[in-house]
Every structure is written in structure tokens, then in C-alpha cells.
A and B are shown apart, each in its own frame.
Chain A
């Protein structure tokens, strides 16, 4: 670096007195007047407002995740198919989030259960999203709607957690929670224990729900990540209907996929 790096006060005053030039001054430096341009400025760069920004860090991204798309072979119950999918679109802090689950017999007939949730999701801490929105059931009770408030994120011990509180249009309160944990056997073989529960705050006779635990599922799935986005899996799933005191165990085979 040449010795002209040090600007003496005299030079500086001189430079201020000179008409500003947009290009190099005598020492290859910009004129001081060019640092703050005329007219409206970008609040972030201080450059003219009609220039593009140097980067767009508030871009919209999205994801669609089919966590479970599976065939269930159960002893003593009709074989069934199931889907469990969700997706989001938005920026780092605010996202529109949808979730849908459903299950039905494999040999035709309408699904036993299916629903769709539409939610607004907002990041409230590094690992957690607060979600609020509506849920519509299509089966078995297509007239049932709920207001939803939920908390979704990554709990300590690396538990993928999805919890929600539901208030039906009749004012009945229930809740649901799902937990998943990824255990890496290798870089591509992943063993995933999974637990899901739902509970009611009160009896809801017309829908056959009793106060307390209504249903629970414990599962163990072994997936192979062909690529991060595509993983076929096999596993076992034990479901329990606490209202009717019935339980089924199923061998499952399915696909986890996202984009």
C-alpha cells in the first residue's frame, strides 16, 4: 500500500471544497459527497432507493413433506392405507402451514378419518413455531370444524414435536400431540420411533369420545434415504382406541418424501 493512505486534514478540506466527481479522485478514492446520494435512499444500504438491493434475505421458500404414506397390514383388522402430510410457504418468520392426515380401508369404501388444517405459523424462538388456524374434518364427521392453536418444533433431545389444542364449533376442547425421533444407524438407514396421542377434555357422546385419552399410536419405522427427499420404509405400528378399548398392531410399508 502506498503512503498516500493517510489523508491529512488539509487534503480532506481540499477534497470537500472541490466539486464532487463520481469516479476516482486523485488518489483513487471516491469523493466524500458521493457517499450519501441525492434523493430517496434504501434504509438498509444507503444507496439510491431505485437500485436493486445487494441481496434478498427475506425470500419466500416452501416445503411439502409427506411424512407417512403407507400400507398397513394388521392382524384381525382390515388392511388399510394412511397418509400424513404437511407443507409450508413463507419466509423465515411467518409461514402459511397446512397439515392433512387420513386413513381408510384398502378395499374401497370411504376413509375412516381424514382432515385438513390451515394454519398461520410464526417463529417464536429458535426452535419453535406458534401456529393458529382452522381444522376441517371430512370423515367420519364432515360437519365438524375446529379452531386450532399449536406449537410445533424441535424439543430438547432432538424430538420433532407437533402439538395442538382444538376447540370444536360446539365448544368441545381436545388436544393432539406427535413426537418423532431420528436415530441414525448409518448415514442413510434411519430408525424412527414415533408416538401420537389424542385426548378430550370432556365426553362428546355424539362422536363417541370420552373424557381423557382417546387414541394413541406407538410406531417404529426403518427408512432408507435413497436421497434426502425420498425414503422408503418398513415398520410396525401399534394403535389403541381407548374409547372402545380396542387395539391393532400393523406391519407397515411406505414412503417418506418431501420437496
Chain B
């Protein structure tokens, strides 16, 4: 299939990329007289989404390693078309995309189009969808665009996404937006480091708390004694020390090495978006970081969430949201006053923040809030709960009985032999019944969600430290550190699809995976099994699947499935929201539904870069049963 690139679309492209610092890479598209000297690589790119006339798109991506001015210093980074972050790509639903990747590195590269539906050969995961792009080679990606929304793209090779190979991707809808806006900006968040990511990994393998400069100290101990008394404080310390864990273990890699960037710019510079008071502005917030969860808010300005992971949701008014690595949220804001507003993206561990400004006049700034007090994990995050199953009393919507375990198919557990998956599902609980539950009670207080199960026997081996004995439903919670902020915070349970569920069949099979890890040795896995010890998870094409994720660790993990959207069972009846990446809270159990309608080999992994590289990764194979049986 060829796409004819007209002069019109060439002009449109140039217009769209003007000022992004990306023109140098588009020389192939320029007539000879227009070719200037290559630009100096420079961090920061234009974040205004321009739209324009729908049409097929042809783009060239020149991948280079060069020294860039970034985050207040100079360092080696991986650029696309001379830019970090990579330039904004705009596609149109219903049109063809033709994307050519030229590798000028001395190592393999790749680009994964995060959240896009496409043939798996185009998905850009070396070793899964294609062999990778060797130095000096070009790889051509072609696919018809079948969706719209806010997405992003990044390298899937050799930790290159930590060194700058991430970019925003916006797909304009074929028919006009349900939610219109006068102006659109991408707000892309990154965690930049001047360190070599392989060195970071080596340090973590030697010392899991290497980057954590927010540990509990003797001073904290005496503060706690003052507040809670000797007995309670000593009991608490003994409990954590006995488990050999730290309640301050919020992020593996922190502001000790990271600068948090907004649209490629350091907080000292600050990205700036200019608006006219009274305009409706769509902000497309993308967490393109390697390891960092952010809390996003605009002091003095309410937000209306209208999109999650690129897909539309019913509008939710809120003041703040936590965004996991690789997630995206679309929000509408309507600043009426003739004043500047600060965009604050605070790292979840509060070790730094990315900053930007929405302003009616360039250069105008608003107050920047101080970093808030770092959060702490609780015993609940460890899956400890002395109340046992008492918390289940209020769960009237649930079906108790042995029936649920009858229909379970452990066929998907290939390669996990010897492991005991006797977790909560075998307790005979039907979690499908949770759809009818009212979680309103949880959203008000920000307390822990209800208990929905107990961990079965089996501890997932030496690669896993903690077993969450008590599993909770935590989709109604605002996220770590946002329980008591005194304003509205988005929760997963508020996300409601604008369209009813298309596939109403009950799931024919449940696949249960435990998220497991060992912070002491920096080992990360599913079910205690690393990728290099695993086999693909096979799913029959067209099947309706329930995917149950149980987080045994004390950290949240953003779990990403390539190639297909999952529907989050968050109590919204037949309006379950689509997710390509789900942040699973500690000691929680989350379930998703999936219609496996995309044949292929798809990556499935934790999107914390260093967790993925440590082995928290699987391949999911989707094909007709007769094809799978040939393996």
C-alpha cells in the first residue's frame, strides 16, 4: 500500500513541525533550496497541537546520539530529528500513516507507538514484533490509523527512552470531537538524567535504596515518639525492620539523579503555553518518564478529565490526578482570569517537580507551590490486615460460592509450572460481581478500599520478598500521597467510557498474574518468574478474557499490554474505561476484561523501565486455537 504525498500535505507537515527544532530531519521532504544548515540539538519542543487538514502522513525519524543542551546542562542524549523530546507527531483517524525510521546510532534502535492499534510487525518491540533496526538501516512503518486520542512513542531498545527517545503522538478524530477546545497543548513529562541508565541499573543491583534520600532517620523516630508514644513507635519500627522494608520506599530512582521536565524543559526555565482568557484549552498530559509517577495539578484552576489513555471518558471535574508511567490523560481547562497559572507535576516521592505555565502574556509567571511532605507506605500496602476478611462485610454485590474457581483455566500459566496460583480466585469468589458495587464511600474519605481476597499459599520464590496476604480493591483511591490533600483527586473508579461495552460476552477464561519483586536484590518479575525463565502466554483469537493482576509488592506498577485495549472493571457497569496501561496499587487486586481481537505477538510488561529490564516482562500470543496448537 502506497500513500501519495502531495505538496499540500508536505506544506502542512512543515507547518506542523515549524519551530519544533525538527525540520533538520525532514530534509528529505524539502526542496533543495529550502535546506538550511542542521540545527543545534536543543531540548524543548513546541507543544501546541495544530491539527489541520486530515490526510495521509509521511514522516521521517532520524535517530541520532548527540550532545544536547538539556535540564540546565549538557549531556549525551538520543535525538529524533535533532530534538529531545522527539517531535510531536499528528496523525488522522481513517488515514494511512507511513513512518520511516532511520538509525544513525552505532547500536540497534526501535520505536514503539504506545497505545496504537496496528499490525504487530509494526509495533516496534525488538525480539517480539521485529528484529530491531540495525545501525545504518531504515525501517518503514505503515498502518491505517484506526483510532484517535493522545498517545506517545518511545524506543524499546537498550534503555534509549531514558536518554530522550520519547515523543508525543496525537491522533485527530475522523469526526469532530465530542469535546471541543479552542486550543490544544501537549504536556509531556519526562525524568531526565545525565547518568548512563546501565550504570543506574548496576547501582540498583548493588543497592536498591541507592537513590532514596528520604529514608526514616533517628530524628523521625523521636518525632513519632512525640506524636504516638514510645510503645507505638517502637512497635512500628520493629514491624518494618522485621520485614526488612522501608515505608519510604516510594520510587526506585528519584530527584537525586533526575530532573523532571515538562515538554523537555527544566523547571528553572519552565514550559510556557500562551492562551486568551475565556478559551477552552485541551491539555494532553503524557507521562513519558522512565520511572516516575507524577501528581498533576494547576493551582487555582479546576480540570475536567475527558480522556484516559487516549480513549474518551465521560467528563470528570477534578483538581488533581496521579498519572502512572506511560499513562495519558486529556483534561479541559477554562481559565477566565487574565493571569498566569502554574502547571505542577510533582513526582510521587516528592523529590522534585516539573513545572510549566499557562499564561496570557509570554514571560508572566504564577506562584510555584513548595514540594509537599513525602508520603509513607502503610502496613496495608504490605497486604497486612489484622481485620482479615472483615472488610468484606459491606460487599453485597459479590457472589460467594465455589463456582468462580470452576471456570478457571490455567492454560495461560504456561512456563510457570511448580508455582502455586492458589490465590484469591480459588477462594471461590466471583469478582465479576464487583461491577455492581458502589464505591462512592471510598472516594470521599480516601481510605483503603475493601478487602476482596486473601493470598493463597506459595511465595513466588527468592525473587519475591513480600506476599500480600490481604488483597484489596483500590480503584477508588486517589493514589499514594494524595489521600488527604483537601481537594478533589481523580480515582480510577470515576473513569466511565463514553460508549457501552461492545463485547458483552462473559469472559471464558481468567488469567491471573502476580506482580512480584525483590527490592534488596533488585529483581522484578511476574509470579516470581523473570522473562528469561518464562514462556509466552497464549490467548485464542477472539476470546473474551479476564486478566487479574495481584500486586504482592509494596510499590505501584504500571502494567502495559501492547496492541489491545483492556477494559478496567471499575464498577462502571457496561461503560468500563479502556486502558493500555494500568497502575496497580500495592497489595491490591485489579481485574480487566480483554477481547483478544488482534492477532500477534504482543509485549506485556511493567512500564517502569528498570523493572522491565530486570525481567518484569512477558509475550502474549494471540492466534486461532489451531494455529497455537502447532507450536
Contact = CB atoms under 8 A, between A and B. Distances in A.
B339 interface: no
B278 to A, nearest CB: 33
Given A47-B127, A54-B531, A1 B536 contact: no
Tier of interface size on chain B: 35 or more
B565 A23 contact: no
Interface residues of A, number: 60
B210 interface: yes
B291 interface: no
Given A29-B599, A33-B627, A127 B612 contact: no
A24 B218 contact: no
Given A35-B623, A57-B532, A158-B244, A28 B143 contact: yes
Interface string A1-30: 110111101001000100000111101111
B535 A127 contact: no
B66 interface: no
Given A16-B624, A46-B619, A185 B146 contact: no
Contacts of B534: 44
Contact of A158 (B241, B502, B530, B613): B241
A43 interface: yes
B134 to A, nearest CB: 10
B395 interface: no
Given A2-B94, A58-B532, 18 more contacts: A1-B565, A12-B624, A32-B623, A35-B622, A45-B536, A46-B601, A51-B131, A54-B156, A55-B531, A55-B612, A56-B613, A57-B613, A126-B463, A126-B465, A127-B520, A158-B244, A184-B215, A187-B214
A187 B599 contact: no
Contact of B127 (A31, A54, A58, A123): A54
B546 interface: no
A24 B143 contact: yes
Contacts of B520: 126-127, 154
Contact of B117 (A1, A34, A187): A1
B241 A156 contact: yes
Nearest to B623: A35
A7 B93 CA distance: 20
A75 interface: no
Nearest to A50: B131
Contact of A46 (B213, B532, B631): B631
Interface in B189-242: 201-203, 205-207, 210, 213-219, 238, 241-242
Nearest to B209: A228
B241 to A, nearest CB: 5
B108 A52 contact: yes
Interface string A89-121: 000110000000000000000000000000000
Contact of B203 (A45, A92, A228): A228
Nearest to B120: A30
A58 B600 CA distance: 26
Interface of B: 1, 93-94, 108, 117-122, 125-128, 130-132, 142-144, 146-147, 156, 201-203, 205-207, 210, 213-219, 238, 241-244, 311, 462-465, 502-503, 518, 520-521, 523, 530-532, 534-536, 541-542, 565, 595, 597-601, 603, 612-615, 617, 619, 621-624, 627-628, 630-631
Contacts of A6: 502-503, 595, 597
A172 interface: no
A61 interface: yes
8 contacts: A12-B624, A22-B121, A28-B117, A36-B627, A44-B532, A57-B531, A158-B244, A187-B217
A63 B199 CA distance: 12
Nearest to A181: B241
Interface of A: 1-2, 4-7, 9, 12, 16, 22-25, 27-36, 41-48, 51-58, 61, 63, 92-93, 123-127, 154, 156-158, 183-188, 228, 258
Given A7-B597, A52-B132, A154-B520, A2 B216 contact: no
A92 to B, nearest CB: 5
A29 B598 contact: yes
A41 B206 CA distance: 34
B131 A186 contact: no
Contacts of B599: 29-32, 34-35
Contact of A55 (B93, B118, B462, B617): B617
Contacts of A43: 535
Contacts of A1: 117, 146-147, 311, 565
A56 B126 contact: no
A63 B599 CA distance: 44
Contact of B630 (A22, A36, A123, A185): A36
Nearest to A63: B206
A126 B126 contact: no
B128 A32 contact: no
Contact of B121 (A30, A33, A42, A46): A30
Nearest to A65: B206
Given A54-B128, A54-B531, A32 B541 contact: yes
A93 B462 contact: yes
A54 B1 contact: no
Contacts of B132: 51-52
B121 A92 contact: no
A31 to B, nearest CB: 7
A23 B119 contact: yes
B251 to A, nearest CB: 15
Contacts of A44: 531-532, 534-536, 619
A207 to B, nearest CB: 36
9 shortest interchain CB distances as A-B pairs: A57-B615, A54-B127, A35-B623, A30-B119, A126-B465, A28-B144, A61-B205, A184-B217, A187-B213
